[in-house]
Chains A and B, each alone.
Chain A
């Protein structure tokens, strides 16, 4: 039931008094004002445009992180390798209570991190005999042997205090040879093109290079330094001192508080929560209590004060 104060007799009576109001002139004035404001703001402040990271710039700036990430792609321990749907079945995906929507939808953008990010880029580039031999040795080995080759490399990485760039050359088996060559290809700029071009001549889909980038710490480190991380309300922010997407305040708020800030299902839970809140926002006219807030926070008395004064004087 509509609250009494909100009921308006239907059909609505014509207003007792009207005023001249030129809506076309109002539109033209508004357009001019907005154009002037836009031209001025753009001239004074401009817009941000920070250059994108490439696999090449990543490999050159942080070869250790690149090598460690490439190894994680090969041995299936990277974030993408263990992601689950829509990329693979390595995990179940997130749930809202018992509801596993990600799993129900399934794998639609299959990524095989070892093949797509490491083995194929190596195999499709001309290689010198050492690299070709290491690649053949790895590919022709049994799964157990491949695991052993990977363990040789990871042990060497541990011995080098976790820095794969410090492993002495030629000491960690075929995997070291392969990954060092991948690093060389990345530093030369060819890996960017290779990851993008897998599958065809024309490409618009950056899924593979972006997933590979996001598996490392370089991109995230840059973002954190620019205050764009999830736990920094980063969704609302923009690089530099520009305003960002301030309207995402409520969406990013939930990530900052318990239980979401330590839940494995945070993304799904918050999506569900925001879906409910958005629906509630759309249906405010039907929600008792919320729809009565205007009555009890009487800003309307200011907006229509002339009208009320006139009614009072002419009662």
Chain B
């Protein structure tokens, strides 16, 4: 039987292993973690579409 090394040093700076936080909105229940990921993705998509892109050199 595998023995789990419970004394392994926790190297992560932020410990996400505590009870999760959840948002409830009608039938929708979302974890804060998932919401953050989805929110960041939407922001990145918006920025990608809006931010100016470097002009190419050697345009023919």
Instruction: Indicate whether A and B are direct neighbours in the complex (CB within 8 Å).
Output: yes
Query: Any chain B CB within 8 A of the CB of A33?
Result: no
A225's nearest neighbour on chain B, judged by CB, is: B19
Closest CB-CB distance, B42 to chain A, in whole Å? 12
- Contact status B21-A241, CB under 8 Å: yes
Q: Which residues of B contact A (CB under 8 A)?
A: 1, 4, 10-22, 27-34, 36-38, 49-50, 53, 55-60
- Contact status A193-B13, CB under 8 Å: no
In the bound assembly, the distance between CA atoms of A17 and B59 in angstroms comes to 7
The 23 listed contacts between A and B (C-beta, < 8 Å) are A17-B59, A18-B59, A19-B55, A20-B56, A20-B59, A43-B12, A46-B10, A46-B12, A46-B15, A48-B16, A232-B22, A232-B29, A233-B30, A237-B34, A239-B20, A240-B17, A240-B19, A240-B20, A241-B16, A241-B21, A242-B33, A243-B37, A244-B33
In the bound complex, residues from chain B placing their C-beta under 8 Å from that of A95 are: none
Query: Any chain B CB within 8 A of the CB of A51?
Result: yes
In the bound complex, residues from chain B placing their C-beta under 8 Å from that of A243 are: 31, 33-34, 36-37
- Contact status A237-B20, CB under 8 Å: yes
- Encoded as 1 (CB less than 8 Å from any B CB) or 0, chain A from 190 to 221 comes to 00110000000000000000000000000000
- Contact status A20-B12, CB under 8 Å: no
In the bound complex, residues from chain A placing their C-beta under 8 Å from that of B58 are: 19-20
In the bound complex, residues from chain A placing their C-beta under 8 Å from that of B37 are: 243, 246
Query: Any chain B CB within 8 A of the CB of A77?
Result: no
- Contact status A227-B20, CB under 8 Å: yes
- Encoded as 1 (CB less than 8 Å from any B CB) or 0, chain A from 4 to 28 comes to 0000000000000111110000000
Within 8 A of B (CB), among A220-271: 226-227, 232-233, 236-244, 246, 256-257
Query: Any chain B CB within 8 A of the CB of A86?
Result: no
In the bound complex, residues from chain A placing their C-beta under 8 Å from that of B29 are: 227, 232-233
Q: Point out the residue from B17, B27, B31 that lies within 8 Å of A244, measured CB to CB.
A: B31
In the bound assembly, the distance between CA atoms of A302 and B49 in angstroms comes to 6
Closest CB-CB distance, B53 to chain A, in whole Å? 8
Range, interface on chain A: 35 or more
Closest CB-CB distance, A157 to chain B, in whole Å? 31
- Contact status A227-B22, CB under 8 Å: yes
- Contact status B59-A19, CB under 8 Å: yes
Query: Any chain B CB within 8 A of the CB of A39?
Result: no
In the bound complex, residues from chain A placing their C-beta under 8 Å from that of B59 are: 17-20
Q: 3 tightest CB-CB pairs across the interface, nearest first?
A: A19-B56, A46-B12, A241-B16
Closest CB-CB distance, A309 to chain B, in whole Å? 12
In the bound assembly, the distance between CA atoms of A17 and B38 in angstroms comes to 37
In the bound complex, residues from chain A placing their C-beta under 8 Å from that of B36 are: 243
Closest CB-CB distance, B11 to chain A, in whole Å? 7
- Encoded as 1 (CB less than 8 Å from any B CB) or 0, chain A from 277 to 312 comes to 000000000000000000000010011001000000
In the bound assembly, the distance between CA atoms of A239 and B16 in angstroms comes to 9
In the bound complex, residues from chain A placing their C-beta under 8 Å from that of B11 are: 43, 46
Q: Point out the residue from B17, B19, B27, B57 that lies within 8 Å of A48, measured CB to CB.
A: B17
B27's nearest neighbour on chain A, judged by CB, is: A256
B29's nearest neighbour on chain A, judged by CB, is: A233
Closest CB-CB distance, B2 to chain A, in whole Å? 9
